[in-house]
Amino acid sequence: MSVRILILLVMAFLTAGATAMMAQNWLATERAEIMASVPKVLAPKAIGYKKVLVAKTDLLAGSFVLKEKLEWQDWPEDAIGERMLKKGDVSMEDFVGSVIRSRIPAGQPVLPSAMVRKGEQGFLAAVLTPGMRAVSVALSATSGVGGFIFPGDQVDLLLTLSQKVGEGKMRFTETLLKDVRIIAKDQSAIQAEGQAKVAKTATLEVTPKQAEIVALASQMGKLSLSLRSLADEELMIAEVSKQSLEHKIAFQPVGVQRKTNKAQLSLTTDKQLNFYLQTMAQKRKKQGASASRKVQVHRGGSLSVQKF
């Protein structure tokens, strides 16, 4: 092989090697540019949770908030709003006894704007059933059942007054309203546990017409409360007596009526009470006379009667 051919072969190998290196460098550069243009996939960020106050069961508008109806629930930190109630910032007990303004479904956060807390303006209005009114009556130890009435109890409202009849006066008591709900005592709509305190006033939940009747009756005579049993079978909401009083107040029965035994509201006069007392006295007297027994005693030839 001549020297010339050998030189050409060497030059060809060098050219091929240089071309291969240049091509490899170009491909590496292109690959780097492509990789740089691809967005980097970041590792998922750990989600933080905090406990917020939510409704354990459906909270209906106008209902009281009870502790067993609330719970703390884990909530993503990114989704926690400024108005949500977070554990550590507030206590669940702070909202027990509040009244719900609007319905809160179970599992949804409880917001301060959805409640009226004790002592806040508008609390009593939130307690009232829609369409009903609040009216207060003065109480004493006797007219207020000795202090053993509490918000939430059902009572009958009695009116006692005297009226001139002929040359004399007649006193009577009538059941004016029946099955009325107590919504507050004095300035409290929530009775502290264990307290039996004689209140000066009781606030009743009544219809607009009944509110007028109570306002008038309070100026005519003495109002008293009669506590009803929690297990009372006679279901009725604040029925107004159909029997007019001696002063002929004309009003129609108002209020929502449920199933009842058609029990009429009662009226008791002083004459009826006197007659009852006299009847009981005569009955006791007769019982005493009939209770004495006659015994015939024979002593020798004589006969005597002994009473025991």
Taking CA atoms, 63 is separated from 33, 41, 91, 255, in Å, by 66, 51, 20, 21
| Span of 68-77, 82-91, 115-124, 231-240 with lowest mean pLDDT | 231-240
CATH for 49-125, among 3.90.1210.10, 3.40.50.1220, 1.10.10.10, 2.30.38.10? 3.90.1210.10
Residue 263: CB partners within 8 Å, gap ≥ 6?
Answer: 234
Cα–Cα nearest to 136, from 197, 182, 71, 67: 182
pLDDT at 252: 35
Cα–Cα nearest to 95, from 54, 127, 131, 128: 54
Q: What is the mean pLDDT of the chain?
A: 74
Q: 132 or 302, which is more confident? A: 132
pTM: 0.49
pLDDT at 70: 92
The encoded tokens of residue 40 equal 């980097």
What distance in Å separates the CA atoms of residue 63 and residue 88, rounded to the nearest whole number? 26
| Span of 191-195, 198-202, 275-279, 287-291 with lowest mean pLDDT | 191-195
- Cβ 247 vs Cβ 221: under 8 Å: no
pLDDT tens across 54-96, in order?
999 998 877 788 889 999 999 998 888 888 999 989 999 888 8
Tell me the pLDDT band of 162, cut-offs 50, 70 and 90: confident
Residue spans of the domains in the chain: they are 49-125, 131-265, 279-307
pLDDT at 52: 93
